[in-house]
Amino acid sequence: MTLTALSETLSAKPHIDDLMERVGLRMSFAKGEEIFGQDEDADMIHSVVSGAVRTMRLTSDGRRQIGDFYYPGDIIGLEIGDTYRFSAEALSDCVVRVIKRSSLHALNEDGGVDRTLWNATRRELERTQEHLLMLGRKSACERVASFLRDVAQRVGSEDVSLPMGRQDMADYLGLTIETVSRMVTQLQGSQIVEFANSRQFRVTRWPALERLAA
């Protein structure tokens, strides 16, 4: 990452966050509650303050695909034309700030807001492309390894706690719950990760995990 790109990234977040703090409505959602629904009118932009959120899509015959998981600081609701293409739900009790697209647009005197949202959209696109590569070409073991690596990297700390259950992981990775479970057990058997319980783990051998995540 270049210096300019870095500073842009760093400065962008506070800018939009300040704005949303000033104008945005603060809302709380209980665990499992729907923040917005698939195919609803998409006139809001959401920013996670605390907790975690999942976006997902349901096909007519009940298959589910998780789009992504969002943590504090992330912006949700960029991926849309006229209606939301994914629904968003609270993974845990959480707080989000909400602002109308139109309000945000009105505040865009210097073009800085648009620029910021565009950057956020590009980052979203990059994450989606990474996700795509995983679903298209990685084995079950590689998917789970990639996932655990990504979560651990994002958190940064020694001990990682997963805000989502196995079903959510499965629907994100394009696998079944059983396969996810088996792969986790396998990674644990290879001394690569260590689970205290089903939602708490630590990476014991980073190089091996990186190698598997490919």
Q: Does 207 bind a second copy (CB under 8 A)?
A: no
88 is a site residue for a second copy (CB under 8 A): no
Q: Shortest approach of DNA to residue 166 CB, angstroms?
A: 3
Q: Using CB distances below 5 to 8 A depending on partner kind, what does residue 214 bind out of a second copy, DNA, none?
A: a second copy
User: Which H or E run contains 160?
Assistant: strand 160-161
If binding is defined by CB under 8 A, does position 115 make contact with a second copy?
A: yes
Rg (CA), the chain: 18
- Cβ atoms of 53 and 76 within 8 Å: the answer is yes
Q: Which is nearer to DNA, 97 or 143 (CB)?
A: 143
101 binds a second copy per the rule CB under 8 A: no
Please work out, in degrees rounded to the nearest 5, the angle formed at the alpha carbon of residue 198 by the alpha carbons of 193 and 203. Answer: 15
Provide the β-strand partners of residue 25.
98
Question: What spatial distance separates the first Cα and last Cα of the chain, rounded to whole Å?
Answer: 21
Site string for a second copy, 17-56 (x = CB under 8 A): ----------------------------------------
In the complex, minimum distance from the CB of residue 3 to a second copy, in angstroms, rounded to a whole number:
11
List the structure tokens of 111. Answer: 């073009």
User: How is 90-143 classified by DSSP, letter by letter?
Assistant: ESSSEEEEEEEHHHHHHT-SSSHHHHHHHHHHHHHHHHHHHHHHHHHH--HHHH
Instruction: Say if residues 155 and 203 touch (Cβ distance below 8 Å).
Output: no
Q: Give me the least distance between CB of 194 and a second copy, in Å please.
A: 27
CB of 196 to DNA, least distance (A): 9
Binding site for DNA (CB under 7 A): 139-141, 165-167, 174-182, 184-185, 195, 197-199
For residue 182, give the 3-state DSSP assignment: helix
Which listed residue (7, 11, 50, 128) binds a second copy by CB under 8 A?
128
Among the listed ranges 19-27, 30-38, 113-121, 180-188, the one in contact with a second copy (CB under 8 A) is 113-121
d(Cα 180, Cα 67) in Å, to the nearest integer?
17
Binding site for a second copy (CB under 8 A): 1-2, 5, 57, 59-61, 63-65, 67, 78-82, 85-86, 111, 114-115, 117-118, 121-126, 128-129, 131-133, 135-137, 171, 173-174, 214
